[in-house]
Chains A and B, each alone.
Chain A
């Protein structure tokens, strides 16, 4: 029984030894192969390899206080686009927000509770939007409809910004437009 037991374990031991040798060879091949797989510059300095799914960059360090500034939106204006069209255009001199040292992720413009523009950041700590990238058509309204007897409708706006630290700030206000109504053309009835 004892002799048979020793006799049976020999192939198993041999197999395990073979597996260990093959594993060693495999490890050596992997190491050498990986080294040869990287692009090497002319001076034989290995480059950093980049894989299909690069590890996301860590967010920039958060400060003790929220760094995201309230969106700056000076000189909100509402002007008639075309007289007697009833259509006005709202705009700002510019929009600006800073999240430095974090990244700014988005800035959104909503007018009368409806999102009208969305700006997405791309590896940037501040966001500046000039007036030429803005311009939103709104109804001018009739005289006094916004509370001012000499002007038209009043429109609320909400500008919000969000950064990579999870902070969010908003800026709200309202703009009163000039009054402008559709030009009504009355056709006279001609009896024949």
Chain B
């Protein structure tokens, strides 16, 4: 039996090591806070969009749509000022016919939430650019400040929407501003 001790010990250590590694790997499954899981996700370049739902009763086909938020722009109207303006052509999301949209929130990651749109007995939500005609004022930044050598600062943003079925939709992207060159 004494001769079996070392092989047994080696086997147990190996087992524990593999078990521990698997736990770490399983812990990396994306689970957003609040007991929600990601039901659908797409990535293209620096942009990601996803749909989230409750862990317990996740539907097969989430009714909430991806948020459509095309053409994130950063414009420098006056080249003598270090002031740029971020805006989207529009933001649109639908909760399907059986649910209501609760809210849609725009967050500039450096600053926090900059707009919150609240639904009112509505199945979809559409926010055109001219609801905020000027856009959100930010610093343009120096050349290369955002990582692109010919542009200024870059700003990460998150747009989140949620509906009455506790489903959520989120867009994660980055917008680059022109540089301020005094």
Identify the A interface with B (CB < 8 A): 8, 10-12, 14-16, 18-19, 22, 26, 30, 33-34, 37, 39, 41-43, 45, 47-52, 54-57, 103, 105, 107, 114-124, 127-130, 132-137, 164
Interface contact A51-B28, CB-CB below 8 Å: yes
Give the CA-CA distance A22 to B8 in the complex, in Å. 11
Residues of B with C-beta under 8 A to A26: 15, 18-19, 22
B28 contacts across to A, CB distance below 8 A: 51-52
Interface residues on B, range: 35 or more
- 8 tightest CB-CB pairs across the interface, nearest first? A15-B7, A11-B3, A50-B38, A117-B75, A119-B73, A124-B70, A39-B58, A115-B178
Q: A120-B175, A123-B49, A136-B77 are in contact. Are A50 and B39 (CB under 8 A)?
A: yes
Residue in B closest to A125 when the chains form the complex, CB atoms: B70
Report the nearest A residue to B150, measured CB to CB: A115
Once the chains bind, are A128 and B44 in contact (CB under 8 Å)?
A: no
The docked-state distance in angstroms from the alpha carbon of A15 to that of B15 is 12
Q: Decide: B7 and A123 in contact? CB cutoff 8 A.
A: no
Q: Does B182 reach chain A (CB closer than 8 Å)?
A: no
Q: Are B72 and A123 in contact (CB under 8 A)?
A: no
Could you tell me the distance between the alpha carbons of A39 and B59 in the complex, rounded to whole angstroms?
9
Decide if the interface of chain A is mainly helix, strand, loop or mixed: mixed
The answer to whether A103 touches B30, judged by C-beta atoms less than 8 angstroms apart, is no
Question: Quick check: A11 and B11 within 8 Å, CB to CB?
Answer: no
Q: Which A residues lie within 8 Å of B11 (CB)? A: 15, 18-19, 22
Out of A14, A45, A114, A129, name the residue touching B71 (CB < 8 Å).
A129
Nearest CB on B from A56, distance (A):
5
Contact with A along B46-72 (1 / 0, CB 8 A): 011110000111111000001001111
A30 to B41, CA, bound (A): 25
User: Once the chains bind, are A116 and B60 in contact (CB under 8 Å)?
Assistant: no
On chain B, the residues within 8 Å of A107 by CB distance are: 71
